[in-house]
């Protein structure tokens, strides 16, 4: 049957022909009314916000279930939810391109259109089969990481990441550390071909929305060009590199005394398994080996947590109390009812700490496997920083429900942790007795802080540098591992403790690689937290050295922080930074000011040493 509209069009054409002899000119067809593009764009983003709130809630719910109960079924369910979101975003982003360059858009609409284009760290191709494959790969890779165990040659004596990490943190036996390190890194080998396919598919998705590759998309989310952002991270790294180099030289010398010059030689990278952490990303666990002045000011908060039998909920309550001391509201009761604080005994879960707002309506949660350690207590404060950010912007449209940039989100809790020092721990009973007030005690404290915050800086920088190179094709599947260790040597000055080959996939042994979480945010956060801390101390009226400042209990600092949190991503990050700090550029001088006493001491200790690698 011929459609009615086709018949009507044909009839009109016939009429024109039949009367063409009777008239010398035809009246032109009326032009369609002009489109009101600004109004259309506003209506478009309004609909996208409503749609995404529903879709992202379904996705977050499926992801929560998968992360807290890993099975083939929950992985499949999460993959389906992710595929639905991928399909919607793929179409919405392409539809949004019609509004690029349109004049007269209001600021909110213009910003939401830009944030929409950048909204997925894993953009999917429009092809349905490829999109389904990408969603399945993403779920499978994260599940492989969560379920991974290192077993002996017979397939017995299997240990998960928690058990292996405990060895890495406590053992001082070279062989035990090596076995734990190698066992965990070997679990990532099967991920290698899957990750290569995931990279190819996500690159295809990025190209469909006018990015050269996925790395270019990731670097576009900072209110500057990708090239400008890469240059900015290099600039910040150069600011802090001298302090890192001083710390590296000192720590290597002290490890040499424990393990011998044959295993830790001068002028060479440090073997990666000797720094107290599975990835050598933070070195806090080797503090007893490098303590500058043994016996000066007890800093063993973990010992007191165990001795006093602190449980997970009490530790979380302590973290919440720091935020409420600033005048911020308590967490909702549902936070305590719905969170995962400890590792269940009856199922596999992802223990990697994370913070959530599952419904984008203040449904706050954390997912952790908390143990009574100072490291976990610090992590709690970090994750609650995310939760309080969520809480303050959850009334905004969902496209604005994110940090001013992703580094802001990571920096909030950590900025407040800078106020959680010995004096605070004494107040809450975790450092009993009178603390020695001396220069030696200060250097001890700063050393412990630097082993976490300064040691992390190059690790935070190189992770995405590796992925940017992978996505750009500079690093191919044939040299994944060689390129990984080349960057680790360049930035961190660490090396694998045993020979590695392209049969290995050591990048996959770090959670953020198989889970496809961009990582430069953590590097930026290590810079921003000190910049935030300096600004909050100024608001609080603190004078004196930055390392001595605490804003605990200061409502003026809390009000300043809250004003920035409420902005979400509504404004470019320089505006948010200026609202809190009065500055419009990220700056590492606050970090250097904070650690000035330690750096002076390190330079004195390193005289005559062969530093560098």
Q: Give the residue numbers annotated as catalytic, written as ranges.
A: 352-353, 382-383, 386, 410, 512, 522
**Cβ neighbours of residue 510 closer than 8 Å, sequence gap 6 or more:** 279, 463
In order, the DSSP letters of 343-395 are --SSS----S-EEEETTSSS-EEEE----SSHHHHHHHHHHHHHHHHHHHHTT
Residue with tokens 């260790």: 485
CA angle centred on 569, ends 567 and 571, rounded to 5°: 75
Q: Which of 537, 300, 497, 316 is nearest to 415 (CA)?
A: 537
DSSP 51-85: HHHHHHHHHHHHHHHHHHS--HHHHHHHHHHHHHH
Rounded to whole angstroms, the Cα distance separating 511 from 143 reads: 10
The token duo for 576 is: 């948010």
Q: How many CA atoms lie within 13 A of 469 on its CB side?
A: 17
User: What is the rounded distance in angstroms from the CA atom of residue 534 to the CA atom of residue 343?
Assistant: 36
Tell me how many degrees the CA angle 561-566-572 measures, rounded to the nearest 5: 95
Residues 410, 345: contact at Cβ < 8 Å? no
> For tokens 């590097």, what's the residue?
523
**What is the rounded distance in angstroms from the CA atom of residue 191 to the CA atom of residue 168?**
23
The Cα 610–Cα 272 span in angstroms is 19
Write the DSSP symbol of residue 495.
E
Q: Ramachandran region of residue 253, left (φ > 0), alpha (ψ -120 to 50) or beta? A: alpha
| Short-list 548, 552, 539, CA closest to 593 | 548
CA-wise closest residue to 342 among 310, 318, 319: 310
Q: What distance in Å separates the CA atoms of residue 404 and residue 535, rounded to the nearest whole number? A: 17
Residues 6+ apart with CB under 8 A from 329: 391
- Which value, to the nearest 10 degrees, does the dihedral of the CA atoms of residues 178, 184, 187, 193 take? -90
Q: How many CB atoms lie within 10 A of CB 117?
A: 22
Distances (CA, A) of 420 to 88, 366, 392, 527, 541: 43, 20, 22, 18, 18
Dihedral class, residue 590 (left if φ above 0, else alpha if ψ from -120 to 50, else beta) = alpha
Q: How far apart are the C-alpha atoms of 110 and 102, rounded to whole Å?
A: 9
In angstroms, the CA 167 to CA 177 distance is 7
Element containing residue 100 per DSSP (H, E) = none
Identify the residue whose tokens are 């989100």: 409
């Amino acid at each position: 049957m011929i459609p009615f509209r086709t018949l009507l069009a044909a009839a009109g054409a016939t009429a024109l022909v039949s009367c063409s002899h009777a008239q010398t000119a035809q009246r032109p067809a009326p032009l369609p009314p002009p489109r009101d593009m600004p109004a259309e764009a506003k209506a478009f983003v309004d609909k996208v916000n409503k749609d995404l709130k529903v879709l992202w809630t379904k996705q977050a719910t499926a992801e929560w279930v998968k992360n807290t109960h890993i099975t083939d079924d929950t992985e499949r369910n999460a993959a389906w939810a992710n595929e639905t979101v991928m399909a919607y975003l793929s179409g919405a982003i392409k539809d949004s391109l019609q509004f690029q360059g349109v004049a007269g858009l209001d600021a909110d609409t213009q910003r939401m259109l830009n944030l929409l284009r950048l909204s997925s760290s894993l953009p999917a191709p429009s092809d349905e089969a490829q999109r389904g494959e990408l969603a399945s790969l993403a779920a499978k890779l994260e599940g492989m990481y969560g379920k991974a165990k290192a077993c002996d040659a017979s397939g017995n004596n299997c240990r998960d990441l928690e058990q292996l990490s405990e060895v890495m943190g406590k053992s001082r036996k070279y062989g035990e550390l090596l076995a734990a390190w190698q066992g965990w890194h070997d679990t990532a080998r099967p991920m290698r071909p899957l990750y290569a396919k995931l990279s190819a598919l996500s690159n295809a998705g990025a190209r469909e929305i006018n990015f050269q590759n996925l790395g270019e998309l990731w670097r576009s989310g900072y209110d500057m060009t990708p090239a400008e952002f890469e240059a900015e991270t290099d600039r910040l790294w150069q600011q802090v590199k001298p302090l890192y180099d001083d710390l590296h030289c000192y720590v290597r010398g002290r490890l040499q005394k424990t393990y011998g010059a044959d295993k830790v030689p001068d002028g060479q990278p440090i073997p990666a398994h000797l720094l107290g952490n599975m990835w050598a990303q933070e070195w806090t666990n080797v503090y007893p080996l490098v303590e500058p002045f043994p016996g000066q000011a007890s800093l063993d908060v973990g010992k007191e947590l165990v001795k006093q039998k602190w449980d997970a909920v009490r530790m979380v309550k302590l973290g919440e109390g720091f935020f409420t001391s600033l005048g911020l509201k308590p967490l909702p009761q549902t936070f305590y009812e719905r969170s995962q604080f400890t590792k269940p005994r009856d199922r596999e879960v992802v223990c990697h700490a994370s913070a959530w707002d599952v419904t984008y309506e203040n449904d706050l949660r954390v997912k952790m496997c908390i143990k009574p350690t100072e490291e976990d207590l610090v992590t709690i404060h970090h994750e609650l920083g995310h939760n309080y950010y969520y809480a303050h912007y959850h009334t905004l449209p969902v496209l604005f429900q994110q940090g001013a940039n992703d580094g802001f989100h990571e920096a909030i809790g950590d900025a407040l942790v800078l106020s959680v020092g010995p004096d605070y721990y004494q107040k809450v009973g975790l450092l009993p007795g009178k603390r020695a007030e001396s220069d030696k005690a200060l250097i001890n404290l700063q050393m412990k802080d630097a082993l976490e915050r300064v040691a992390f800086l190059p690790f935070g920088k190189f992770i995405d540098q590796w992925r940017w190179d992978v996505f750009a094709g500079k690093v191919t599947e044939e040299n994944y591992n060689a390129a990984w260790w080349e960057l680790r040597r360049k930035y961190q000055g660490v090396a694998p403790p045993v020979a590695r080959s392209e049969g290995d996939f050591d990048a996959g042994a770090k959670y953020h690689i198989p889970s496809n979480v961009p990582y430069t945010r953590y590097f930026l956060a290590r810079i921003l937290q000190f910049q935030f801390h300096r600004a909050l101390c100024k608001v609080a009226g603190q004078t004196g050295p930055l390392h001595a400042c605490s804003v605990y209990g200061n409502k003026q600092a809390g009000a300043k922080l809250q004003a920035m949190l409420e902005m979400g991503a509504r404004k470019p990050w320089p505006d948010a930074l200026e609202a809190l700090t009065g500055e419009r550029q990220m700056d590492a001088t606050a970090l250097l000011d904070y650690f000035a006493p330690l750096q002076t001491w390190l330079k004195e200790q390193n005289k005559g040493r062969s530093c560098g690698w």
